[in-house]
A and B are shown apart, each in its own frame.
Chain A
Amino acid sequence: MATVLDGPELAAPVPPVRAPRGRLRLNQLRSLLGTLPFFAYVTVFLVIPTLVVAIGAFAGDGGFTLANVSALGDSYVLDAFGRSILLSAVTALIGAVLGAVLAYALATARPGGLLRRVVTAASGVLAQFGGVTLAFAFIATIGLSGFVTVFLRDNLGVDIYSGGVWLFELPGLVLVYTYFQIPLMVIVFLPALDGIRPQWREATESLGGSTWQYWTKVAGPLLAPAFLGSTLLLFANAFSAYATAAALVSQGNPIVPLQIRSALTSEVVLGQQNLGKAMALGMVVVVAVVMTLYALLQKRTARWLG
């Protein structure tokens, strides 16, 4: 580990840029040496773990095997992927629509104003910091003895759990995920809204266009790639989320991240470890596809709103 930590010292003794032609290659080699700590570090802690997952997914007792990957076809794994995708899609859609509305409300406010600043900072916290703390926020709100649950029961005689305690199951996850998806949408969609120029609206008006026409013919098409891209990002975010579900779900492993946890921690079934790697690889594939589409849409967005 020691060689990894002394970056500047390694980089220091390299000579200046201009050198005679013969020494050029040697010089370049020395330049590369300056990036060695960085590349060594990411190799150990990023590349190797990725390879462990990718290779482990195809490794069995006697070398190469497709058993782990074909075990992804088991009904309980498929169900988990289905539920994960459903949960991510539903919360991404709800989050994208409501988040876009909130972002638009903010975009019409003064850019450097306190309102915008407070809401953006709060969004950052809820979108990225969340995890376990949000699970407890909802336990305090609509848990069995939560504020809202008790209030509704004592004052209005409404029992929100008459059909069973849904907070610790999939419907509860939808609610809590929405709570961090909307803020994420605000963060990623606000820059696109800021890219909309008032001149475009004025141009529409001077050509006799109505507000409806402005939104459907000008702003709508311009914002569509950004909106779709942000929705995909929200999907990937919900799909990768683990902490909230781990803290909230008490029984069973309804979604893929929790299935991976049980594969990682269970010592009962030998070979489960590599099934975990296969499921992890499955997650990477889903997220990679979604993020590639996101990158493509992002490029399209940048054409007008960058």
Chain B
Amino acid sequence: MAGLRARRARRQSAFRWTVLAVMGIFFLLPLAAMVEFTTRGDSGTWSLLADWPKLSETYPDLADGIVASLGQALLTALLMLVLLVPTAIWVRLRLPGLRPLVEFICLLPLTIPAIVLVVGLAPVYAWVNYFLGGSSLTLTFAYTILVLPYAYRAIDAGLSAIDVRTLAEAARGLGASWFTVMARVVLPNIRSAVLSAAFLTVALVLGEFTIASLLNRTNLQVAINLLGKSSATMSVAVSLAALILAFVLLLLLSLFGDRRKASR
């Protein structure tokens, strides 16, 4: 039996490395090609990318897009937390009967493609334009809807892992207001869930193109696409940088999520 298991482990290991090697080539080839494409000749693409003042002077649209995307990511993460965390806690404590409905609504955007949402959002954004102007930061409202499924699942998992009711009753028994219960008792206990929801939000917003492009606003992806028409090298370089940034974000998320499990 033991010999059989050792043989199987060896076979599995050989299989694993063969699959990883073949897939690795398929997945790394485009990334390697991006590096080669952007370092052809001595165009100085990468040094320009590191030099912000010069970059915003040479490619003002790209700089605008980057600034817009960072602002959208920050605001969306904030709005998502303000909207979702109190509601999720509140529904768990006071209105458990509403939980299926809230969950259904939060997961609904998964079944509505962004391209469909944009069709319906166009008239809503006519009003947003009327009240708040046409700033690219107003995309925050649509993005908060887009990230709902991912953020809700992260926060809901965090809340499931602690005994919210006992914590809240203890705090209420000691005279805490509901605001204190949420901000100073429950929130610190779901810190890592909130953080992973925020990370996912940032990664998703930085990668969004459909809504920004069709509502005639700018962000990183719209700028990359626009730049592709005039300077392919630069847009490939920015694409690669954006992919690497998202990868680092998600890797940090995975490392952080694991530490949470280990510490419990």
Chain A contact residues, CB within 8 Å of chain B: 1, 4-5, 7-9, 11-14, 16-17, 31-32, 34-35, 37-38, 41-42, 44-46, 48-53, 56, 98, 101-102, 104-106, 108-109, 112, 115, 117-122, 124-126, 128-134, 136-141, 143, 146-148, 179, 182-183, 205, 236, 239-240, 242-243, 246-247, 257, 260-261, 264-265, 276-277, 280-281, 283-284, 287-288, 291
Which positions 121-154 of chain B face chain A at CB distance < 8 Å? Answer: 121-124, 131-132, 141-142, 144-145, 148
B34 at interface, CB cutoff 8 A: yes
Residue of B nearest to A240 (CB): B113
B105 at interface, CB cutoff 8 A: yes
The one of A105, A108, A112, A122 in contact with B247, judged by C-beta atoms closer than 8 angstroms, is A122
Could you tell me if B243 and A133 are in contact, using CB atoms closer than 8 angstroms? yes
Could you tell me if B109 and A129 are in contact, using CB atoms closer than 8 angstroms? no
Could you tell me if A240 and B114 are in contact, using CB atoms closer than 8 angstroms? yes
B32 at interface, CB cutoff 8 A: yes
Q: Which of B79, B98, B116, B203 has the most CB of A within 10 A?
A: B116
A-contacting 9-mer, from B47-55, B56-64, B250-258? B250-258
- Complex Cα distance, B108 from A284, in Å, reads 11
- Complex Cα distance, B84 from A35, in Å, reads 10
Chain B, interface size category, equals: 35 or more
Known: A243-B221, A280-B116, A280-B120. 5 other contacts (CB 8 A): A16-B172, A42-B148, A108-B12, A260-B119, A264-B119
- Complex Cα distance, B120 from A232, in Å, reads 25
B157 at interface, CB cutoff 8 A: no
- Complex Cα distance, B209 from A17, in Å, reads 45
Given contacts A42-B105, A140-B34, A291-B110, contact A49 B117 (CB under 8 A): yes
Could you tell me if B225 and A132 are in contact, using CB atoms closer than 8 angstroms? yes
B206 at interface, CB cutoff 8 A: yes
12 pairs, CB–CB < 8 Å, chain A vs chain B: A8-B86, A8-B179, A8-B183, A45-B124, A105-B16, A131-B221, A132-B225, A179-B27, A205-B1, A260-B116, A280-B116, A283-B116
Could you tell me if B82 and A8 are in contact, using CB atoms closer than 8 angstroms? yes
Distance in Å: Cβ of A155 to nearest Cβ of chain B: 14
B44 at interface, CB cutoff 8 A: no
Chain B contact residues, CB within 8 Å of chain A: 1, 4, 12-13, 15-16, 19-20, 23, 26-27, 29-34, 36-38, 79, 82-84, 86-87, 90-91, 94-95, 98, 102, 105, 108-124, 131-132, 141-142, 144-145, 148, 172, 177-179, 182-183, 203-204, 206-210, 213-214, 221, 224-225, 228, 232, 235-236, 239-240, 242-243, 246-247, 250-251, 253-255, 258
Could you tell me if A139 and B228 are in contact, using CB atoms closer than 8 angstroms? yes
Which secondary structure characterizes the binding site on chain B? helix
Distance in Å: Cβ of B52 to nearest Cβ of chain A: 20
Could you tell me if A31 and B243 are in contact, using CB atoms closer than 8 angstroms? no
- Complex Cα distance, B94 from A16, in Å, reads 10
Which secondary structure characterizes the binding site on chain A? helix
Could you tell me if A5 and B33 are in contact, using CB atoms closer than 8 angstroms? no
Residue of A nearest to B183 (CB): A8
The one of A31, A104, A118, A148 in contact with B251, judged by C-beta atoms closer than 8 angstroms, is A118
- Complex Cα distance, B132 from A38, in Å, reads 20
Could you tell me if A102 and B19 are in contact, using CB atoms closer than 8 angstroms? yes
Could you tell me if B113 and A139 are in contact, using CB atoms closer than 8 angstroms? no
Residue of B nearest to A146 (CB): B33
Given contacts A8-B82, A240-B113, contact A132 B236 (CB under 8 A): no
Given contacts A42-B105, A117-B254, A141-B30, contact A108 B15 (CB under 8 A): yes
The one of B112, B132, B182, B243 in contact with A50, judged by C-beta atoms closer than 8 angstroms, is B112
Could you tell me if B178 and A247 are in contact, using CB atoms closer than 8 angstroms? no
Could you tell me if B82 and A242 are in contact, using CB atoms closer than 8 angstroms? no
The one of B119, B145, B213 in contact with A53, judged by C-beta atoms closer than 8 angstroms, is B119
Given contacts A125-B247, A243-B210, A291-B110, contact A45 B142 (CB under 8 A): yes
Given contacts A8-B179, A247-B228, contact A46 B109 (CB under 8 A): yes
Q: Which residues of A contact B258 (CB under 8 A)?
A: 112, 117
Distance in Å: Cβ of B19 to nearest Cβ of chain A: 4
Residue of B nearest to A46 (CB): B145
Q: Which residues of B contact A281 (CB under 8 A)?
A: 116
Distance in Å: Cβ of B205 to nearest Cβ of chain A: 10
Residue of B nearest to A256 (CB): B115
Could you tell me if B124 and A49 are in contact, using CB atoms closer than 8 angstroms? yes
